[in-house]
Amino acid sequence: MADRILSASAALAEALHEEMARDETVFILGEDLTAHAGIFGQFKGIPEKFPGRILDTPISEACIAGCGAGAALTGMRPIVDFHFADFVTCGMDEFCNQAAKIRYMFGGQVKLPMVVWCPDGAGLRAAAQHSQSLEAWFVHTPGLKVVVPSEPADVKGLMKASIRDDDPVMFFQHKRLFRKEGHVPADPEFIIPLGRAAVKREGRDVSLLTYGSGFFMCMEAAQELAQQGIEVEVVDLRTLKPLDMETIAASVRKTFRAVIVHEACRTGGFGAELAARIQAELFDYLDAPILRVAARDVPTPFSPPMEDFVLPKAADVIAAVKAVCKR
């Protein structure tokens, strides 16, 4: 089947429609889902097509998270809509102390197939409490899988794989990327397996390792660097846990240099974990220190100029690449 041009929001909606039609145990719960088709229009048409399978809940994130975990334990496949990723703080016990551990505590006798959908990230002038990138918290929690797509095709393929997975999946989708458009396969069985990165631009000089909004920063930087004679390879991780170290290693062995790019704060961000693994497993292939490009370690400001100052940009990626290339 031919590809179509879809927005990330439309790609998500298509994935949900297809999986709900395929499996009657899939349902959605969260706040304000039916009146406005979701905060980003991602649930358009679902209440009409699947009556009773998209549930509006009270404003109680702990309750929503607990209901999702309980439903998963009884054989359902819930998609828990958390509106903004920042609100996961209100469901941390349910996600990290219950859902993440139950399968292990019961010796693998039960499954917990739950997707927690978390729109995250900054750039919408939403201030400190609605602009965070919190994926590293959940990578640090054994028992959870963590997905961070960038392009619309990734959104569709990874959401379908997440829904079919038998473990809880934290699905972070950047708020600024919902209108991004791209080619999306029409095949209803199009799936991107969790734990598989993608080399989206080949290069010889530096490996740019990134995910989510960082991917678009890297592609912008790559175009400008190419005009200066530097060819970077862009690896979109897509899934942080499980992590595709095989693809990462193949890229670093080719370029001998690595720059890690993400929007989350620098200190304790996922880039630190990835840098440590590259250092431990690929040290002999490195011709330069591993550098990280990330947000500054401050709460996201409401002021537009200050927010822009805090967030990483393509210019920061370019500077890091030139540093490792000694140019």
**Any idea how long the chain is?**
327
Helices and strands counted in the chain (H then E): 12, 14
Q: What is the pLDDT of residues 65-96, one digit of tens each?
A: 999 999 999 999 999 998 899 999 999 999 99
**Cα(149)–Cα(194) distance, integer angstroms:** 11
26 and 80 in contact (C-beta within 8 Å)? no
Give the CA angle between residues 187, 189, 195 to the nearest 5°: 120
The predicted pLDDT at position 85 comes to 92
**Cα(212)–Cα(176) distance, integer angstroms:** 10
* Ranges in the chain, pLDDT < 70: 1, 327
The predicted pLDDT at position 1 comes to 61
Place of tokens 């595709």: 244
Intrachain domains 3-185 and 198-325 with the same fold: yes
> So where are the chain's domains?
3-185, 198-325
Q: For the purposes of burial, counting CB atoms within 10 Å of the CB of 147, is it exposed (0-12), middle (13-18) or buried (19 or more)?
A: buried
Does the CA dihedral 17-22-27-28 come out positive or negative?
Answer: negative
Q: What is the pLDDT of residues 34-70, one digit of tens each?
A: 877 777 878 888 999 999 999 999 999 999 999 999 9
The predicted pLDDT at position 124 comes to 87
Catalytic residue among 130, 140, 174, 262: 130
For the domain 3-185, what is the CATH code?
3.40.50.970
Collect contacts of 16-23 with beta carbons under 8 A, ≥24 apart.
16/42, 16/43, 16/46, 16/79, 16/159, 17/45, 17/46, 17/49, 18/160, 18/188, 19/159, 19/160, 19/163, 19/164, 20/46, 20/49, 20/50, 20/53, 22/188, 23/77, 23/163, 23/164
How would CATH label the architecture of 198-325? 3-Layer(aba) Sandwich (3.40)
User: Is residue 17 annotated as part of the catalytic site, yes or no?
Assistant: no
